[in-house]
């Protein structure tokens, strides 16, 4: 999987999405019926921006709940 930062300045951000991450993004676009990849990314940003405690929970069809949290290597070191 690969998402690489290409350019980061106040007026804009450029990233390169390829390999497994691009495959997953394409699958999400199809599964959720987004009109394009940009819409899928906007939706993901909206969902993450609404979380309060740095985690998401998903209730599966069987009623069990799965909690999603970023892995340690995705986070800043504790202050």
* pTM for the model: 0.81
pLDDT at site 35? 98
Residue-wise pLDDT for 11-62, tens only, equals: 999 999 999 999 999 999 999 999 999 999 999 999 999 988 889 999 999 9
Distances (CA, A) of 17 to 26, 28, 57, 59, 74: 11, 14, 26, 29, 17
Domain extent listing, the chain: 2-73
**Best CA proximity match to 29, nearest among 43, 47, 15:** 43
């Amino acid at each position: 999987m690969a998402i690489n930062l290409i350019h980061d300045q106040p007026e804009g951000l450029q990233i390169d999405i390829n390999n497994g991450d691009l495959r997953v993004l394409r699958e999400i676009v199809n599964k959720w019926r987004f009109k394009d990849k940009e819409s899928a990314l906007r939706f993901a940003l909206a969902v993450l921006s609404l979380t309060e405690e740095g985690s998401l929970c998903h209730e599966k069809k069987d009623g069990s709940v799965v909690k999603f949290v970023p892995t340690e290597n995705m986070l800043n070191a504790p202050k």
